[in-house]
Amino acid sequence: MSRRMKLDLLIILQKATELVDEHGLDQLSIGLLAEKLEVRPPSLYNHLDGLHELKQKLAIQGVKNLHTYMLQAAVGRSGDEAIRAISQAYIQFVREHPGLYDASTRFPNANDQALQHAQESVVHLVLRVLDTYNLQEEMAIHMVRGLRSILHGFTSIEQLGGFEMPLDINKSFTILINTFIEGIHAVTLNQNEN
């Protein structure tokens, strides 16, 4: 291993992703990351502006990756089946990349174009999935928010170890999504009465 390790932002982000997914976002430090990359801590500052910026970059990666998972799951599916598929993709992503997902919820830089774009991609994907329900425009957005709340809430609590009772977590998830879908159907029927 040569004394000079050729770093670049991509390599740094990859190693940081490994670290946060394995040890948790809060364990990410400049020192540990530098050690894993076999450089001295100050060297990292040649490639990024500090720990906080690094976390924001991870956040962007997280949203982009989440979108990719969901997009893959959605192709060729529609209606209830599509909702189930993107929901499964969401929970799968969080389970495989808990640190990245955590970064995307805790360190989103609202001013960052790339982040906003990635977030909008997810919203639009879900809106397309909901298209088949012919919801009124506003109602569709309320439902996107609802599904997002469900997915974020369930996965967050799972990651925190919050489901303590000895009862199959996957079943809870399936039932929750199905309950929501049933709810959409019911709301769709009543749509013109509100």
Alpha carbon distances (Å) from 80 to 46, 74, 94, 147: 48, 11, 21, 12
State the number of binding residues for DNA (CB under 7 A).
Answer: 23
Token output for 166: 């000895």
Contact track, its own copies, 26-65, x by CB under 8 A:
----------------------------------------
Using CA atoms, how far residue 60 sits from 56, 111, 113, 162, in Å, is 6, 12, 10, 26
Residue type, 177: I
Residue 133 token pair = 């329900």
Among 13, 82, 100, 184, binds its own copies (CB under 8 A): 184
Amino acid at 91: I
**Who contacts 29 (Cβ-Cβ below 8 Å, separation ≥6)?**
51
Q: How far is the CB of 109 from DNA (least distance, A)?
A: 14
**Out of 43, 105, 109, 121, which residue is the one contacting its own copies (CB under 8 A)?**
105
Footprint of DNA (CB under 7 A): 2-8, 29-32, 39-43, 45-47, 49-52
Footprint of its own copies (CB under 8 A): 105-106, 108, 110, 119, 138-139, 141-143, 145-146, 148-154, 156-157, 160-165, 167, 171-172, 175-176, 178-187
